[in-house]
Amino acid sequence: MNEPAATPPEPVIRLANASIGFGRQQVLSNVSLDIYPHQTVVLIGESGCGKSVTLKLVVGLLTPTTGEVYFEGKPVRRMRERELTAMRLRVGFLFQQAALFDSLSVYDNVAFGLRAKGGIADEAVRTRVRERLEDVGLSYKKVENQMPAELSGGMRKRVGLARALALAPDVMLYDEPTTGLDPIMTDVINELILQTRQKRPVTSLVVTHEMRTVQKVADRVIMLYPLARLKPGESQVLYDGPPEGLRECADQRVRQFVEGEARDRLSELRADNE
């Protein structure tokens, strides 16, 4: 007797033919992608192709003009305010500039979400803040009273990560987590992304330009292509597969991107401006 075929798990995040534009500029057109539980998916692509917009669609900060975005099977656009808030509390977000509250100390930044969630005793908040800061390699005693302006870029990113992890998120969204960091600190952040995933069954979507991040953390890579440069009928998702396949991809635009070759891009950019 044949074994019944295993049903694939429901995606945590699904974009189904999602399109969005701003004014006359169309940014995403008919983009479909599925992100499964506990996967780390890395989203790459040229500047301006819509990577950050994709992250904002996932948490309902933007709504597609056509198509649908689903979170655990539920269309984000149909969520009521309470559902949206509950969903966002389960999603940790590490922004490009760490987005710390400049007027709050490191302690208050990391405690912010826990306090906003409510129902957690001060002592438990303190323990959680200390643990998360130590997880990201920061000494609680040294940094708890520091203000964001006193921190280096790498420290800010790690405080941002500690803040996101304080709420024990089920989903982590990283928007260029290593931009502006030196190679060692870049690797520290990559290592933290990996460890976060090893410690907890988190589903992650990482936007990056760093090929080292791709190689280190990705289970799967999705490459988006700028809409304006697609040939008629092509999908905006140029690549969807394992990181090992990028360099052998039949599409030379994918190989060109990962190898960082400009080729004729400068003249194309000049022509665009004429």
Ligand X SMILES: Nc1ncnc2c1ncn2[C@@H]1O[C@H](COP(=O)(O)OP(=O)(O)OP(=O)(O)O)[C@@H](O)[C@H]1O
Q: Which residues bind ligand X (CB under 6 A)?
A: 22, 27, 45, 47-53
Q: Which of 5, 9, 56, 57 is CA-nearest to residue 36? A: 9
C-alpha to C-alpha distances, 56 to 2, 53, 155, 191, nearest whole angstrom:
43, 5, 25, 25
Name the residue nearer to ligand X (CB basis): 62 or 143: 62
CB of 118 to ligand X, least distance (A): 31
Q: How far apart are CA 127 and CA 166, in angstroms?
A: 10
Q: How far apart are CA 206 and CA 209, in angstroms?
A: 10
Token output for 88:
């966002």
Name the residue nearer to ligand X (CB basis): 61 or 147: 61
| 175 and 52 Cβ atoms separated by less than 8 Å | yes
CB of 249 to ligand X, least distance (A): 19
CB of 168 to ligand X, least distance (A): 27
Name the residue nearer to ligand X (CB basis): 7 or 47: 47
CB of 14 to ligand X, least distance (A): 19
Q: Using the structure block, give the residue that is written with the tokens 């198509």.
A: 67
Name the residue nearer to ligand X (CB basis): 121 or 271: 271
